[in-house]
Chain A
Amino acid sequence: MIIGEWLRRFSYLLNRRRFERSLQEEMEAHREMLREPIRFGNTLRLREASHDVWGWNWLDDLCRQFRYALRILRREPTFTLTAILTLALGIATSTTAFSIVDAELWRPLPFSNPDELVAIYSRGPSARAMSDGISGAELLEWRAAASALSDIAAVGRTSRQILRLETAQSAVVTEVTPNYFALLERPVIAGSGFTVADAGRNRTAVLTDRAWRRLFGANPSVIGSSQTVGSEIVFISGIVQTDDSLGPDPDLFIALDESASLFRDRTKPMFNNAIGRLRPDAAASVALAQLQANAARSRPPGDERNGHLIYVEGLEDYYTGSNWRPLYFFLGASLIVLLLSIINVATLLLARAFGRMREFAVRGALGGAQSALARQLLVEGGLLATCSAIVGFFLTIAALRSVTTQLPTDLLLRGRNIPVDFRVGVFVLGITGLVTLGFVLAPLIPLRSFDLSSSLGHGRRAGRLPAEGRMRGLLLTAQIAMTVVLLSGAGIFLKSFVSLTNVPLGFDPANAAAIRVSLGGPKYSTDAAVRSYANQLSEGARAIPGVRLAATASSSPLGSGPLVQFTVAGATGSRPADPSRAILRAVSPAYFEALGIRILRGRNFTDGDTAGAERVAIVNESLARTAFGSEDPLGRVIELAPGRLTWTNRPGALLIIGVVSNVKQVGLNEVEFADILVPFSQAPAPSLELIVRAGVPLSTLSKPLRDYAAKLDPGVPVSVVTPFEQRVSTALQGDRFNLLLISGFAAVALLLATIGVYGVVAYNVQARTQEIGVRLALGAHPARLIVSALWYAGRFGIAGGAFGLAGTFALAAVLGDALYLVPGAHNGLLYNVTTTDPSTLASAFTSIIGVALVAGAIPAYRVTRVDPASVLRND
């Protein structure tokens, strides 16, 4: 019934013209038929009365108010644009930041029942302890022991392998247990997971759809085919959807053979952690107790892991536990920008509201109802908020698109697919909308007490309203305070960045470059083959004109390397034989000179340090200090533990023959690593770098070097030539981004504060025109009046600045050391500066006062343009 009525109302609305025409026609007919047509009422009025029945009057009113609001806003383009852009900026920044943080930290993992997924690992009790390796045998035991878990899977080694297609392609390969996809319930797009039986003796592999497109051009016939990966042939059983939420997906997953003897070997650690799925009714604590009990039972008395604990934690927490700091930091900064933009728009609306007081006084006097005026203002506010929302929405999309391509990779661990978070968008829009609507009504508040005669009577502006002055003053002070917080932040980040660019690298990146080659397949299965290739490569490179030095290394500075455990042989009681970890690197003798790394003590490797000779090592300062203290490390012996790669798995004693300076290994902002360098000949790494130092521009060497490598063995994939200066700049990318971001926020804040001060001072001078005129007439010196107006501006700077400093200190206290580098990590947000750096805070404080004075100077100078005669005449 009701629905039918509304349908008819809508059809009336849509066919209104036609309907009214036929009504008109009908009334004309009626009139003609009357004996006294003159007695027929006014047809226009009649038609209006008929139209009223349909109940669309409010819509007509709204349209009228909308048109009026549009006209008003168009009349003040500067105000309108400023307000819309300011609000849009606030909406876009906070929505973007929230979307990123949500995608990275809050969004549940994209697997079914993600709450059931847990990470399981074992590690020592100390905070710096790294997790123990887990052997396949242990994993099988865990499966049997933990009945609270329906299944346990694990991700093994990830390596770069050569995929032999028409050309050799480099592919990232990860070994996983065969139940991996089933446990996560990851969807298989085509083919099947690891469940095929017809793989014969070959292992099965599953492609990610990203790799399927990149390597096979999305050719479906690859499913069921056999491919050569590294030195083995695998059977491709299917394609899964790429999913980077647990770290970037590899190109290829290969199923581990759980019955292989290597897998069953207790002494061979294969995994860092395991992934379990809890039974629907089970708690993680039960699983933990079961695993704990098993560990106590099964680890033999002499096991080095006795006293180590098993940990079971939510998979999501495990994978996102490390990078919340920068994200929350950006979120906080973006919220300040949102607050600032709201305050600024509120100030704008207030200023405008009091300017329109006269209009509203007149409309009120002419009988405009309060409610009608309020409705008119609300339509204006709604229009502003809607426009801002639209602009903000597009800004958000653009920002997310650029952020996901620009943001440093270590900040986005869960993939780059970040959708716009509409819940947050709506929430932010709600807040900004409410504030806009609230402040847009400002002209109505004092209207009752507004003295109409003083507004209309003299034909000049009303005197200063204390309520307005107070409100704007408060808002401006708050705005300046927040600006100071952001300015301090930007200053601290700038200082940190400058320190970082001056940080000693420990090597000379100028004129040096690296090329990575990956040797694989049966041809390079022996040390001798790798060694001979490496020798030919470096010798051939040295023969290229322009190359001064060429060396080979398993990795190089800012390129990290595999971690190995070692103990100091013959350690005395004061230094127990604790296993420590160090980055292991195999280098040829020319490595140190090519990279300008200083040998502090002892000797370099020589050509005599070959496979058969005594095994030797060079350590870095950091290792020498931590392992030997003040003792001389030269001539001492360190004992290497087994590693996980063929070239690092060479346990045994190494004689220390030299000490070199520390180099930056992962990033510029890092706690120093312990390094062990061994002769390349004694540990030939099949994935190696050719490092060259050039006497000519590096760009001219790129082609000859690559050509030479291709000639040496066309089957070996060769990377592009990477100058070390590029590595340094990449290492700074994250810090540069942080600096840019917070500086951008601070710049926006500063601009808004400048506009704010200007507006308030200009208003103050204008409101005091009369007073100034009288003073000038009485002989006051203009300079004194300028100074008093400037003082008015400066006061805001001082008060806001003081509040801002207090806020910065409070914030620093809340943050604690969250922004600093913690021991055992790298990529802290700040380097060599504290969050309460006195000189930075002092300069933020003085610069805000300076900005307040400069912003106030132009309106203050207007004091001198007041013409006393005209002011007095007007009275």
Chain B
Amino acid sequence: MRRDSGLPPGTLDMLVLRVLASEPLHGYAIAQRIHVLSHQELSVEEGSLYPALQKLLMKGWVKASPAVSETGRQVREYRITAAGKKQLDSELNEYKRVNHAIARLLENA
């Protein structure tokens, strides 16, 4: 059932927040944006996207407002909050720190 998304575990929240930091988007657009911006390397499945969005909503990192999709459907548009931006920053820093450490280890070992 589950298709490999190519995402390292735990990074989905960060990616969603990062995409939303540029502009408010609805669910499908988020998935598209991640797919396109990663040069088709990463793909987010609806099965993990929607639960992840619920979590962000609950944590207060994003807000949802009603909007209309390109196909004329009632959808919700997600918008990052101030708390979300702070969370994104701290996650990015953490990510970079770990990434950097791993990279150094791989080069020097």
Name the one of B28, B31, B47, B73 contacting A49, with C-beta atoms under 8 angstroms.
B47
Q: A5-B59, A26-B27, A30-B46 are in contact. Are A53 and B75 (CB under 8 A)?
A: no
Is B74 part of the contact surface with A, judged by Cβ < 8 Å?
yes
Is A707 part of the contact surface with B, judged by Cβ < 8 Å?
no
Q: Is the CB of A41 within 8 A of B28?
A: no
Q: Which residue of B lies closest to A22 (CB)?
A: B76
B1 surroundings in chain A (CB, below 8 A): 41
Could you tell me the distance in whole angstroms from the C-beta of A317 to the nearest C-beta in chain B?
60
Taken residue by residue from 79 to 102, chain B's Cβ proximity to chain A (1 for < 8 Å, 0 otherwise) reads as 000010000000000000000000
The distance in angstroms between the C-alpha atoms of A361 and B57, with both chains bound, is: 44
The distance in angstroms between the C-alpha atoms of A47 and B50, with both chains bound, is: 8
Is A536 part of the contact surface with B, judged by Cβ < 8 Å?
no
Could you tell me the distance in whole angstroms from the C-beta of A54 to the nearest C-beta in chain B?
6
Q: Is the CB of A29 within 8 A of B47?
A: no
Name the one of A33, A47, A53 contacting B28, with C-beta atoms under 8 angstroms.
A33
Q: Is the CB of B47 within 8 A of A33?
A: no
B31 surroundings in chain A (CB, below 8 A): 30
Could you tell me the distance in whole angstroms from the C-beta of A587 to the nearest C-beta in chain B?
90
Is A304 part of the contact surface with B, judged by Cβ < 8 Å?
no
A40 surroundings in chain B (CB, below 8 A): 46
Is B71 part of the contact surface with A, judged by Cβ < 8 Å?
yes
A47 surroundings in chain B (CB, below 8 A): 50
The distance in angstroms between the C-alpha atoms of A40 and B3, with both chains bound, is: 12
Taken residue by residue from 425 to 459, chain A's Cβ proximity to chain B (1 for < 8 Å, 0 otherwise) reads as 00000000000000000000000000000000000
Could you tell me the distance in whole angstroms from the C-beta of B10 to the nearest C-beta in chain A?
15
Taken residue by residue from 31 to 63, chain A's Cβ proximity to chain B (1 for < 8 Å, 0 otherwise) reads as 011100000110000110111111000000000
Q: Is the CB of B60 within 8 A of A27?
A: no
Q: Is the CB of A26 within 8 A of B26?
A: yes
Q: Which residue of A lies closest to B2 (CB)?
A: A41
Q: Is the CB of B60 within 8 A of A50?
A: no
Q: Is the CB of B47 within 8 A of A54?
A: no
Taken residue by residue from 2 to 27, chain B's Cβ proximity to chain A (1 for < 8 Å, 0 otherwise) reads as 00000000000000000000000011
Name the one of A23, A33, A54 contacting B50, with C-beta atoms under 8 angstroms.
A23
Q: Is the CB of B27 within 8 A of A30?
A: yes
Q: A25-B75, A26-B76, A27-B46 are in contact. Are A49 and B51 (CB under 8 A)?
A: yes
Is A12 part of the contact surface with B, judged by Cβ < 8 Å?
yes
B70 surroundings in chain A (CB, below 8 A): 33
Q: Which residue of A lies closest to B74 (CB)?
A: A25
Q: Is the CB of B54 within 8 A of A54?
A: yes
Q: Which residue of B lies closest to A7 (CB)?
A: B60
Q: Is the CB of A29 within 8 A of B51?
A: no
Name the one of B28, B50, B55, B83 contacting A46, with C-beta atoms under 8 angstroms.
B50
B46 surroundings in chain A (CB, below 8 A): 27, 30, 40-41, 46
B59 surroundings in chain A (CB, below 8 A): 5
The distance in angstroms between the C-alpha atoms of A41 and B44, with both chains bound, is: 12
- Total interface residues in chain B, CB < 8 Å: 26
Is B58 part of the contact surface with A, judged by Cβ < 8 Å?
yes
Q: Is the CB of A50 within 8 A of B26?
A: no
The distance in angstroms between the C-alpha atoms of A25 and B77, with both chains bound, is: 12
Q: Is the CB of A54 within 8 A of B58?
A: yes
Could you tell me the distance in whole angstroms from the C-beta of A643 to the nearest C-beta in chain B?
85
Is A125 part of the contact surface with B, judged by Cβ < 8 Å?
no
A29 surroundings in chain B (CB, below 8 A): 26-28, 69, 71, 73-75
Is B45 part of the contact surface with A, judged by Cβ < 8 Å?
yes
The distance in angstroms between the C-alpha atoms of A1 and B70, with both chains bound, is: 35
Is A725 part of the contact surface with B, judged by Cβ < 8 Å?
no
Is A302 part of the contact surface with B, judged by Cβ < 8 Å?
no
Q: Is the CB of A53 within 8 A of B74?
A: no
The distance in angstroms between the C-alpha atoms of A184 and B79, with both chains bound, is: 68
Is A573 part of the contact surface with B, judged by Cβ < 8 Å?
no
Q: Is the CB of A32 within 8 A of B50?
A: no
Is A28 part of the contact surface with B, judged by Cβ < 8 Å?
yes
Of the candidates B54, B57, B66, the one having the most CB atoms from chain A within 10 angstroms of its own CB is B54
Q: A8-B60, A41-B45, A41-B47 are in contact. Are A33 and B71 (CB under 8 A)?
A: yes
Could you tell me the distance in whole angstroms from the C-beta of B35 to the nearest C-beta in chain A?
11
Q: Which residue of A lies closest to B49 (CB)?
A: A30
Q: Is the CB of A30 within 8 A of B58?
A: no
Could you tell me the distance in whole angstroms from the C-beta of A676 to the nearest C-beta in chain B?
90
A34 surroundings in chain B (CB, below 8 A): 28
Name the one of B47, B50, B73 contacting A25, with C-beta atoms under 8 angstroms.
B73
The distance in angstroms between the C-alpha atoms of A5 and B60, with both chains bound, is: 7
A25 surroundings in chain B (CB, below 8 A): 73-75
The distance in angstroms between the C-alpha atoms of A41 and B1, with both chains bound, is: 9
B71 surroundings in chain A (CB, below 8 A): 29, 32-33
The distance in angstroms between the C-alpha atoms of A27 and B46, with both chains bound, is: 8
Could you tell me the distance in whole angstroms from the C-beta of B66 to the nearest C-beta in chain A?
8
Could you tell me the distance in whole angstroms from the C-beta of A55 to the nearest C-beta in chain B?
8
Is A77 part of the contact surface with B, judged by Cβ < 8 Å?
no
Q: Is the CB of B26 within 8 A of A27?
A: no
Is A816 part of the contact surface with B, judged by Cβ < 8 Å?
no
Q: Which 4 A-B pairs have the closest CB atoms?
A: A29-B73, A53-B54, A30-B28, A50-B54
Known: A8-B58, A26-B76. 14 other contacts (CB 8 A): A8-B60, A9-B58, A22-B74, A25-B73, A27-B50, A29-B69, A29-B75, A30-B46, A41-B47, A46-B46, A46-B51, A50-B50, A50-B54, A53-B55
**B interface residues (Cβ-Cβ under 8 A, vs A):** 1, 26-28, 31, 45-47, 50-51, 53-55, 57-60, 66, 69-71, 73-76, 83
